[in-house]
Amino acid sequence: MKKISLVIGALLLLLLLPSAVSALGNISVSSDPVGATIYVDNENKGTTVAPSFTVTNVATGTRGVVLQLSGYMNFTASAVVTDGGTYPIVATLTPNPPAPTILSITPIDGYNNSAVTITLAGTGFVSGATVNLTKSGQANITATSVSFSSAIQIAPIFPITGKPAGIWNIVVTNPDGQSATYSSFEIKNPGTVVTLSSITPPSAVTNTTASITGLAGTNFQTSATMRLRRSGYNDIYGTVTTLSSTAITGTFNLTNQVPGPYQVCVINPSTDAVCGLTFTINAISSTANGSINVISSPSISKIFLNNVFQDYTPMTLYNITPGTYTVMVRSAGYNDYSESVSVSAGNTSYVTASLVLAPEVTTTTTTVPPTTVTTVKTTVKSTLKVPTPWPTDTPTPASPVGVLVILGAVGVGLIVLRKL
């Protein structure tokens, strides 16, 4: 009975004691500038104000604190909270760096049979930035490594083996999410090499539009382009009118172009330019020559000046010495067109040739019925006397008939003599 009384007393004593209270503390946070959101162990606790903001009832122990403010880099700190104590945090926020920029890349292209390292020059590159090649409809190609020389140069390595050829964008993204895009980097296929064999015409006069009626070669691909190239000068880009695997026609705008020899180049999609033929841009003659403008129907007909081939219609023939010339226009399947033209100094003469279809040549086969030819053998009695041949060593035997005739003649003669 006594033991029971002791147990009951102990229980009553425990009930009368105050309950245990969890250990809590505070964190005092100030920031420059104010207005930053306070996160304690990833939980939003409010916004900093002047002079400070106190986060109360924080469980004791080490707590992670993060301050976030738009336009500034995140501020992170650790707060050691003690029971009943207040841990101070004073934060000076750092503005975000400016967005990166990409000013140039080297090289500007690469073949899809190996990895490629691209050096990017620009500003605002931050260590830890990611670099990607992007293209609409294609998965991003992420650089396998990025070397940072400084905030103005990085060198990512891209695994482009087997990747689709074409134009890709380079995108640099800093850790703060700001990014820059550069267009464009070209992934190329090694492809089939283009060959060039001839160009017609091989020259033109500056400040005109040169009509290329035949750029011949092999392995021209769809969307191939052509240009004129000369060291120390900008390329002259051509406009392609028709294109096949072996021939290109088009024009070059030679306005304000410098006279001289240029290389003719053809560029297949995603391949390097192939150059080799020579196209000459001639200066307009300083002498007082004239010109002849020739157009025709059909067009792209051959032009002959005094029987010497010049070019294809439509074309203006420049630097023609004043005088009278015969202009002939010729096209397969049409009659030749010829016209006498007078050229005067400083003036342009005009020829409009309407070619007429040549008549078709028709071959008619006439069947002649067979004719039966009858040969009639006619014997004609000759009235010519045959001369008596001279005797030969071998006498011809006398004919019996001839002897009888002689004897008869002798007999007749004897009868006549007896009557006399």
Gap between the Cα atoms of 416 and 340, Å rounded: 108
Tokens of 48: 């900093």
| Tens-place pLDDT, residues 239-271 | 999 999 999 999 999 999 999 999 999 998 767
DSSP of 57-93: EEESEEEEEEEE-TTB--EEEEEEE-TT-EEEEEEEP
Task: Indicate if the pLDDT at residue 378 is higher than 50.
Answer: no
Top-confidence residue, 313 or 398: 313
3-state secondary structure of 209: strand
Domains and CATH numbers, the chain: 24-92 (2.60.40.1120), 101-188 (2.60.40.10), 195-282 (2.60.40.10), 290-354 (2.60.40.1120)
Specify the pLDDT at position 390.
43
- More reliable by pLDDT, 377 or 40: 40
pLDDT of residue 347: 83
**Count of H-run helices and E-run strands, the chain:** 2, 32
State which amino acid sits at residue 405.
V
Compute the distance between CA of residue 378 and CA of residue 245 in angstroms, rounded to an integer: 78
Q: What distances in angstroms separate CA 28 from CA 42, 56, 65, 317, one per listed residue?
A: 17, 8, 11, 90
Residue showing tokens 């096949």: 244
For residue 40, the surrounding DSSP H or E stretch is strand 37-40
Closest CA to 74 of 83, 64, 82, 84: 64
Distances 51 to 89, 146, 328, 337, 370 between C-alpha atoms, Å? 12, 43, 97, 99, 132
Q: Is the pLDDT of residue 405 over 80?
A: no
Distances in Å between the Cα of 272 and the Cα atoms of 129, 154, 193, 211 are 32, 26, 9, 24
* pLDDT given at position 366: 52
Q: How many CB atoms lie within 10 A of CB 38?
A: 22
pLDDT tens digit string along 189-217?
876 779 999 999 998 889 999 999 999 99
- Determine phi and psi for 79, rounding to 5 degrees: -110, 125
- Percentage of residues in the chain having pLDDT higher than 70: 79
Query: Which residue bears the tokens 């060291």?
Result: 231
Q: Which of 161, 134, 158 is nearest to 146 (CA)?
A: 158
Please tell me the least confidently modeled range out of 2-16, 43-57, 65-79, 312-326: 2-16
Model pTM? 0.40
In 298-371, the DSSP E strands lie at: 302-305, 308-312, 315-320, 323-330, 337-343, 348-354
Q: How confident is the model at residue 291 (pLDDT cuts 50, 70, 90)?
A: confident
Q: Quick one: which H or E segment has residue 228?
A: strand 225-229
CA distances from 6 to 3, 12, 13, 15, 19 (A): 5, 10, 11, 14, 22
